[in-house]
Amino acid sequence: MTQPATLPLLRPRDGSAGDTPIPAVSAAEVSEHARDAERVYASGVWSGLEPRERAAALLRLADLMQRDADVLARLECEDAGKPIRECVENDVPGAIESIRWFAEAVDKLTGQTTPAGPGVIALTEREPFGVVAAILPWNYPLAMAAWKIAPALAVGNALILKPADTTPRSVLHVEKLALEAGIPAGVLRVLPGTGSETGAALARDPRIGALSFTGSTRTGRAILSAAAETNLKRVSLEMGGKSPQVIFADALGYGEDLISQALECAFVTAGQNCTAGSRILVEASIAEEFTRRFVAAARALRVGDPEDPNTDIGPVINGDAARRMLAVVEEARAGGARVLLGGEEVPVIPGGHYVTPTVLDRVPADARILSEELFGPIVTIQTFTTETEAIALANDTPYGLAASVWSSNIDRALGVARAIRAGVVSINSYSEGDLTSPFGGWGESGFGGVEKSLRAFEQWTREKAIWVQLHR
């Protein structure tokens, strides 16, 4: 497939093209940028600074992002079709917080010494790779960029970042702000383009020492294969999910908090979220009551123009995505599933694809809807009668990114959380944790590292052991 000269940037809101097409970076240009980044890193203009000096520049970047928060929110809304309220209240503030947190954390990293004996000093330290890369998804372009920019730059790397081909503009704006903040030219470079050419070239470039990817499992496998065939660069992957929400009977005591958080877990960003709780597992004795309340709450969500602050559910990313997910719903219906709500597109703005919140139950065990990540506002409800059955259903997936468990019996909740095969499990809430908590998946959801927390620095540094023989 030949890469286009420019990226058309079709807005999910109405399918219209952006005013100014963005040039797509070719594979040859990726190689040139990697060589330039190598020179910038070797010059020491950034890598040679004290950690606190780099932190100060990143804090200035965060301040500038705060100044331009309205601009960044508008770009996220236009490019990704995300409701403007989500962008203003969650995505942009979260990205700014990430930049600040990692900037302030970088001088807290330490090595260690080992007890090698009186004539030796044995120590370890972590050093940057030099030139590193990141490839971003389209659903959280700014937030995912911040998770990668901040730790990668804080430790001294030069970072090449490829945004999704549909959502590059907020990240390109951050690149400009980085220069304004005093981060030297070439330390952060944003290369828009397609995954098949620009992304693949980054995965294969021998100058890149580490690459962090967020996106589909299929693409993650391709990146890992390319790294194995070339320079064996460090690869960390955060990929798909089919996350369960496990709800025990005593969770009804949490009242509206249970319903509202289960709803958010299922439908935030129109379900286009890697941790979306698309499989709701409910204890049979409360299934009827929970389902009634959940469906009523889902029906009340407003599907509308993403630029309207009152919108809860905006468009899905494009028509192909809408047709794919609704075809799977129809397949489940034909197999005997009951569609309690939705399962259709609604006309909101011509050219956009607005899928209604969709809830199914009585789904056959072999239906694709239970195993495939649909990345849309679609959830299934299944029932269980025992804790053992709940755990088996929760683990009936090759993915292992996230899960939530609801029970007022904390012993049971902890036991089930420990038994679920997932990297992030929240109890009596829907949460991915704050910046102090690591975020990463198991199985086909994750590989090679985590985002957030001090452990995120491990993606962007390598450990060196130093052995000092004393002569006295």
Question: What amino acid positions are annotated as catalytic residues?
Answer: 238, 274
**Contact status, residue 235 vs residue 447, Cβ threshold 8 Å:** yes
Fill in the amino acid letter for 347. Answer: P
Tally DSSP H helices, then E strands, for the chain: 14, 22
How far is Cα 295 from Cα 302, in angstroms, rounded to an integer? Answer: 13
How far is Cα 102 from Cα 440, in angstroms, rounded to an integer? Answer: 17
| Beta strands at 378-384 and 279-283: parallel, antiparallel or unpaired | parallel
| Cα 15-21-24 angle, rounded to 5 deg | 115
How far is Cα 43 from Cα 131, in angstroms, rounded to an integer? Answer: 12
Q: What's the Rg (C-alpha) of the chain?
A: 23
| Cα 91-96-101 angle, rounded to 5 deg | 120
**Contact status, residue 164 vs residue 136, Cβ threshold 8 Å:** yes
How far is Cα 202 from Cα 346, in angstroms, rounded to an integer? Answer: 39
| Beta strands at 399-400 and 402-406: parallel, antiparallel or unpaired | unpaired
**Contact status, residue 150 vs residue 98, Cβ threshold 8 Å:** yes
Picking from 15, 134, 143, the residue whose alpha carbon sits closest to that of residue 87 is 143
